[in-house]
Amino acid sequence: MERQLAAILYADVAGYSRLTGQDEAETHRQLNQGLNLLTEQITAHGGKKVHEAGDAILAEFPAVTAAVEAALRFQQLMGEIQATDADSDQVQFRIGVNLGEVIHDRGDIYGDGVNLAARIQDIAPIGGVCVSGAVFDQLGSGIEFSYDDLGYRDFKNISRPIHVYQIRAKDPYENHPMAAIESRVKGQLMFDDAIERKLVTRGRCACGSIEIEISQESLGTGFCHCKICQRSIGAPVFAWAAFPVDGVKFVGDQPQRHRLSLIAERGFCAKCGSPVLWRSLKPELGTYLAIPTGVLDNPEDYAPTWHGGIESQLPWLQIHDDLPRARCEESPFLRKAWGSMDAADPEKWIALDYAETLEIDDEAKPK
Ligand SMILES: [Zn+2]
Ligand SMILES: [Zn+2]
């Protein structure tokens, strides 16, 4: 029997029988969607689907890089579908990729390498991709990825320990300054309102009708040069400090709110007009508030750490620092927020300027 070296991809749905028990029809719909998408990616990357067995797919590829690319691309697409359709997040796949000798027979492939791909799949995180050391060593320079070394693992019916790596698509926004703020927001503890909290800082509007009490540390600071910020505060650049929603209390008058764009609103003093907050409305009510640095009592302690919206930075505004600079379209947060409004194309964000978004939102139209 002739043996051939092949990259073997094995994908399986996590917890399939449990899901089927909960909602058979919906689980089946999502399974079909996933299997079709994976089949497309296998073909698009030069692989061949060998067989489907219930909720699993076995495929072979002539090259390891193509197999890993197909797996990563598939998981990325599944993630995108599930991010936009909350009901679609039940069926999620684990994928294992191995390099090994296979025997072709009866329209199928056989060999230890196939079994090992399935075993590696078992330990992949839900929605993730794991590969054997043999695959990892052969990954070409044409593929960008990050990885975790999961060490040597023993597998049932495999005689020696196998080195396993988890592979992830490289996140192009990994180093974006906003990413740090978002990860801190995610880890933020919810505080019990009854607990007396020491104030971290305070602020107020120009006339003093609104006082701001801030009881949690800042999540991050920045400049925004975007057109919408320029118009809404009437200044060439907006400097802000972000705080968890739970850490900000408005005392006295409450800020009047005005929908600023399809994705955000601002709060201002109804008496004097000072802007006192900015918050995201999409995709869900934001977990943090951006407070204009200028209304804080100690703005000197909240130095901006990066520049956003630099595509609109005014040519005569020279700020000589070496802080990171990013365009709006590079922000993972803005991409997600505008994406939820069906405006995934950054070109559209510029077109959807202040006036146009007011048209869309009648309530916000000036009387
Ligand atoms: Zn005021
Ligand atoms: Zn802005």
The 10s digit of each residue's pLDDT in 30-44 is 999 999 999 999 999
Spatial distance between the Cα atoms of 290 and 303, rounded to a whole number of angstroms: 14
pLDDT at 231: 87
Decide which of 200 and 288 is more confident.
200
Peptide bond into 299 cis (omega under 30): no
Structure-block tokens of residue 12:
């399986």
Q: Identify the band that residue 364 occupies on the pLDDT scale cut at 50, 70 and 90.
A: very low
Q: Identify the band that residue 328 occupies on the pLDDT scale cut at 50, 70 and 90.
A: confident
Record: fold of 184-364 = glutathione-dependent formaldehyde- activating enzyme (gfa) (3.90.1590)
Q: How far is the CA of 287 from the centre of ligand 2 (A)?
A: 17
Q: Which of 174-178, 310-314, 330-334 has the lowest mean pLDDT?
A: 174-178
- In CATH, what class is 3-171? alpha beta
Q: How far is the CA of 309 from the centre of ligand 2 (A)?
A: 6
List the domain boundaries for the chain: 3-171, 184-364
pLDDT at 287: 73
Q: How far is the CA of 206 from the centre of ligand 1 (A)?
A: 5
Model confidence pTM above 0.75: no
Q: How far is the CA of 276 from the centre of ligand 2 (A)?
A: 14
Reduced to 3 states, what is the DSSP secondary structure of residue 71?
A: helix
Q: How far is the CA of 199 from the centre of ligand 1 (A)?
A: 21
Q: Identify the band that residue 363 occupies on the pLDDT scale cut at 50, 70 and 90.
A: very low
Q: How far is the CA of 367 from the centre of ligand 2 (A)?
A: 25
**Residue range 56-69, pLDDT digits in tens:** 999 999 999 999 99
Nearest bound ligand to CA 273? 1
Beta strands 201-204; 210-214: pairing state: antiparallel
CA distances from 362 to 13, 139, 356, 358, 366 (A): 46, 54, 11, 6, 9
Q: Identify the band that residue 367 occupies on the pLDDT scale cut at 50, 70 and 90.
A: very low
Q: How far is the CA of 238 from the centre of ligand 1 (A)?
A: 18
The phi, psi pair for 103, rounded to 5°, reads -110, 125
pLDDT averaged over every residue in the chain: 85
**Mean pLDDT calculated for residue range 142-150:** 84
Q: How far is the CA of 209 from the centre of ligand 1 (A)?
A: 5
Q: Identify the band that residue 218 occupies on the pLDDT scale cut at 50, 70 and 90.
A: very high
